[in-house]
Amino acid sequence: MSRYLIVTFVVSLLLGSAQDNFTLTEVQYDVLKNVTSFRMPSKKISGPKDRYHSLSYSISYSYPGRDAKACTQVDFELVSVVKATKLNTDLYVLFLVDGKEIHFGSSRSAIRNPVKGKPWIGERMVFHIPREDFLKFAEATKLGVKLGGVTFDFSEEEFNTVRGVALSLTDPVSIPSIPQQTSPRRL
């Protein structure tokens, strides 16, 4: 069985004060597809609040080649654990940028039994945000997300992480250089 080598590494991005808490980000370059993928680990926004047990987020993006400026879309993932046995199919999710409500399309899927021993259900929501709109998140002074009638505000640490991801889209120095790979190798 032959496999192609895909260059994978984990890096820590320390980009000044805007990224003090932005660490251990995964950057992968797929030689065969000529695509670079970026994914930050999941971070918790909130513990128990209203009908939610927890809310976490993660941000990812990919682009052809090695130039981050070619990225056109950022995927903002929210994972919630709801203290219920059924999800609200009419849940309307809004991002709050400096108090202004903004809606983005999303893909949603249920997560069965996210907390062992509890009859709760989880939900994974991936919002496909245009690059320019995501960059506005970093320019804001306040950021939050509203799930139905429940609002979750980002802490300064979480906000700095979002700023760090935005910086990695605009600053070529913010993502470590990926070693040149001339051709795939057979194992």
Nearest to 185 by CA among 29, 33, 3: 3
Which residue do the tokens 């890096």 mark? 11
The count of structural domains within the chain is 1
Tell me whether residue 85 is in a domain. Answer: yes
The per-residue pLDDT for 171 is: 67
Report the distance separating Cα 148 and Cα 90, nearest Å: 9
Helix (H) or strand (E) holding 83: none
Share of the chain above pLDDT 90, in %: 63
Tell me whether residue 140 is in a domain. Answer: yes
Tell me whether residue 52 is in a domain. Answer: yes
Encode pLDDT of 100-146 as tens digits: 999 999 999 999 999 999 999 999 999 999 999 999 998 999 999 99
The per-residue pLDDT for 141 is: 94
Q: Is the pLDDT of residue 8 over 60?
A: no
Tell me whether residue 11 is in a domain. Answer: no
Which residue do the tokens 């802490």 mark? 155
What average pLDDT is seen over the chain? Answer: 81
Give the SS3 label for residue 161: helix
Tell me whether residue 67 is in a domain. Answer: yes
Q: Taking a C-beta distance cutoff of 8 angstroms, is the pair 101, 95 a contact?
A: yes
Tell me whether residue 18 is in a domain. Answer: no
Tell me whether residue 114 is in a domain. Answer: yes
Give the structural domain span for 155.
42-163
- The angle that helices 131-139 and 156-170 make with each other, rounded to 10 degrees, is 130
Q: Is the pTM above the cut of 0.85?
A: no
Whichever domain contains 58, its CATH number is 2.60.40
Tell me whether residue 28 is in a domain. Answer: no
Half-sphere exposure of 114 (CA within 13 A, CB side): 22
